[in-house]
Homo-oligomer: A and B are copies of this chain.
Amino acid sequence: MTYILKPIFVLGCLLLLISSRAQTLSSLPPGGDDGYRLWLKYDLIDDVAKRQAYARAAQFIALTGSGPVLRSAAEELQTGLRGLLGKTVPIISSVGSRTGGIVLRAGAPAATPPANREGYQIAADRNTLTISSPSEAGVLYGAFALLRQMQTRQPLDGLSLASSPKVQYRMLNHWDNVDGTIERGYAGGSLWKWYELPERIDPRYRDYARANASLGINGTVINNVNASARFMTAEYLQKVAALAAVFRPYGIRVYLSVYFAAPKTLGKLKTSDPLDPEVRKWWNDKVKEIYQIIPDFGGLLVKANSEGEPGPQDYGRTHADGANMLAEAMKPYDGVVIWRAFVYKADPKADRFRAAHEEFTPLDGQFDPKVIVQVKNGPIDFQPREPFSPLFGSMPKTPLGMEFQLTQEYLGFATHLVYEAPLFKECLDADTYASGKGSTVARVIDGSLHGYRTDGPSRTLMAGVANTGSNLNWTGHPMAQANWYAFGRLAWDHTLSAEAIAREWIGMTLTHNPQATSRIANLMLRSRDIYVDYNTPMGLSRPWTGVHFAPEPWQARSPRPDWTAVYYHRADSVGVGFDRTATGSNALAQYRPEVQQQWNDPETCPLPYLLWFHHVPWTKKLSTGRTLWDELCNRFYTGADSVRWMQQEWAAVKPALDPALHADVAARLVTQHREAIWWRDAWVLYLQTFAKQPIPAPFKKPERTLDDVKQSVETYLLR
Q: Which of A1-19 contact B (CB under 8 A)?
A: 1-19
In the complex, per-residue mask of A690-719: 1 if CB is within 8 Å of any chain B CB, else 0: 000000000000011000000010011011
Task: Please give me the residue from chain B that is nearest to A292 by CB atom.
Answer: B3
Q: Among B15, B68, B181, B233, point to the contact of A15 (Cβ < 8 A).
A: B68
CB A250 to nearest CB in B, in angstroms, measures 9
Q: Are A228 and B719 also in contact (CB < 8 A) when A29-B24, A245-B7 are?
A: yes
Q: Which of A494-527 contact B (CB under 8 A)?
A: none
In the complex, which of the residues A3, A17, A234, A413 has the most CB atoms of chain B within 10 Å of its own CB atom? A17
A677: chain B residues at CB < 8 Å are 4
Q: Are A32 and B28 also in contact (CB < 8 A) when A13-B16, A195-B549 are?
A: no
Q: Among B2, B20, B248, point to the contact of A21 (Cβ < 8 A).
A: B20
CB of A487 closer than 8 Å to a CB of B: no
A719: chain B residues at CB < 8 Å are 228-229, 259, 265
A29: chain B residues at CB < 8 Å are 22, 24-25, 36-37, 203
A704: chain B residues at CB < 8 Å are 1
Segment of A206-214, A390-398, A418-426, A458-466 engaged in the interface with chain B: A206-214
Task: Please give me the residue from chain B that is nearest to A650 by CB atom.
Answer: B15
CB of A244 closer than 8 Å to a CB of B: yes
In the complex, per-residue mask of A225-241: 1 if CB is within 8 Å of any chain B CB, else 0: 00011100111101001
A82: chain B residues at CB < 8 Å are 26
Task: Please give me the residue from chain B that is nearest to A241 by CB atom.
Answer: B7
The reply to whether B667 and A28 form a contact with Cβ atoms under 8 Å apart is no
CB of A23 closer than 8 Å to a CB of B: yes
A18: chain B residues at CB < 8 Å are 20, 68, 71-72, 75, 206, 249, 654, 659-660, 662-663, 666
The reply to whether A30 and B204 form a contact with Cβ atoms under 8 Å apart is yes
CB of A605 closer than 8 Å to a CB of B: no
**A1 and B681 alpha carbons, distance in the complex (Å):** 12
Interface size class of A (residues with CB under 8 A): 35 or more
CB of A95 closer than 8 Å to a CB of B: no
The reply to whether B7 and A83 form a contact with Cβ atoms under 8 Å apart is no
The reply to whether A28 and B207 form a contact with Cβ atoms under 8 Å apart is yes
Q: Which of A262-313 contact B (CB under 8 A)?
A: 265-266, 289, 292-295
Segment of A38-46, A110-118, A323-331, A622-630 engaged in the interface with chain B: A38-46
**A9 and B238 alpha carbons, distance in the complex (Å):** 12
In the complex, the count of this chain's copies comes to 2
CB A511 to nearest CB in B, in angstroms, measures 15
Q: Are A10 and B242 also in contact (CB < 8 A) when A200-B415, A292-B4 are?
A: yes
CB of A189 closer than 8 Å to a CB of B: yes
**A181 and B82 alpha carbons, distance in the complex (Å):** 39
Task: Please give me the residue from chain B that is nearest to A7 by CB atom.
Answer: B241
In the complex, per-residue mask of A152-168: 1 if CB is within 8 Å of any chain B CB, else 0: 00000000000000000
A608: chain B residues at CB < 8 Å are none
The reply to whether A6 and B72 form a contact with Cβ atoms under 8 Å apart is no
Task: Please give me the residue from chain B that is nearest to A702 by CB atom.
Answer: B1
A228: chain B residues at CB < 8 Å are 718-719
**A282 and B8 alpha carbons, distance in the complex (Å):** 25
Task: Please give me the residue from chain B that is nearest to A715 by CB atom.
Answer: B233
In the complex, which of the residues A30, A33, A289, A673 has the most CB atoms of chain B within 10 Å of its own CB atom? A30
**A682 and B76 alpha carbons, distance in the complex (Å):** 46
CB of A79 closer than 8 Å to a CB of B: yes
CB of A414 closer than 8 Å to a CB of B: yes
CB of A196 closer than 8 Å to a CB of B: yes
The reply to whether B28 and A33 form a contact with Cβ atoms under 8 Å apart is no
A718: chain B residues at CB < 8 Å are 228-230, 233, 265-266
CB A7 to nearest CB in B, in angstroms, measures 4
A230: chain B residues at CB < 8 Å are 715-716, 718
**A181 and B547 alpha carbons, distance in the complex (Å):** 14
A68: chain B residues at CB < 8 Å are 15, 18
Q: Among B25, B196, B667, point to the contact of A30 (Cβ < 8 A).
A: B25
Q: Are A75 and B22 also in contact (CB < 8 A) when A245-B11, A718-B233 are?
A: yes
A10: chain B residues at CB < 8 Å are 9, 12-13, 198, 241-242, 245
CB A340 to nearest CB in B, in angstroms, measures 19
A244: chain B residues at CB < 8 Å are 7
A186: chain B residues at CB < 8 Å are 195
**A196 and B478 alpha carbons, distance in the complex (Å):** 12
Q: Among B19, B664, B671, point to the contact of A659 (Cβ < 8 A).
A: B19
**A413 and B180 alpha carbons, distance in the complex (Å):** 13
Q: Are A235 and B200 also in contact (CB < 8 A) when A12-B13, A22-B25, A22-B76 are?
A: no
CB of A199 closer than 8 Å to a CB of B: yes
CB A281 to nearest CB in B, in angstroms, measures 19
A469: chain B residues at CB < 8 Å are 189
CB of A346 closer than 8 Å to a CB of B: no
A75: chain B residues at CB < 8 Å are 18-19, 22-23
CB A150 to nearest CB in B, in angstroms, measures 13
A229: chain B residues at CB < 8 Å are 718-719
CB of A558 closer than 8 Å to a CB of B: no
**A4 and B236 alpha carbons, distance in the complex (Å):** 15
A198: chain B residues at CB < 8 Å are 6, 10
A242: chain B residues at CB < 8 Å are 7, 10
Q: Among B31, B199, B414, point to the contact of A195 (Cβ < 8 A).
A: B414
CB A549 to nearest CB in B, in angstroms, measures 7
The reply to whether A42 and B23 form a contact with Cβ atoms under 8 Å apart is no
In the complex, per-residue mask of A584-620: 1 if CB is within 8 Å of any chain B CB, else 0: 0000000000000000000000000000000000000
CB of A583 closer than 8 Å to a CB of B: no
CB A79 to nearest CB in B, in angstroms, measures 6
The reply to whether B22 and A670 form a contact with Cβ atoms under 8 Å apart is no
A179: chain B residues at CB < 8 Å are 547
Q: Are A30 and B207 also in contact (CB < 8 A) when A22-B24, A196-B415 are?
A: yes
The reply to whether A26 and B33 form a contact with Cβ atoms under 8 Å apart is yes
CB of A188 closer than 8 Å to a CB of B: yes
The reply to whether A671 and B200 form a contact with Cβ atoms under 8 Å apart is yes
**Given contacts A11-B647, A30-B204, could you give 15 more A-B pairs where the C-beta distance is less than 8 Å?**
A4-B677, A9-B9, A13-B14, A15-B71, A18-B20, A18-B660, A19-B75, A21-B22, A26-B82, A193-B414, A199-B667, A200-B667, A233-B718, A265-B718, A470-B471
7 pairs, A vs B, C-beta closer than 8 Å: A2-B6, A10-B12, A22-B660, A28-B210, A180-B189, A196-B667, A230-B715
User: Which 3 A-B residue pairings sit nearest by Cβ, starting from the closest?
Assistant: A13-B13, A19-B663, A22-B75
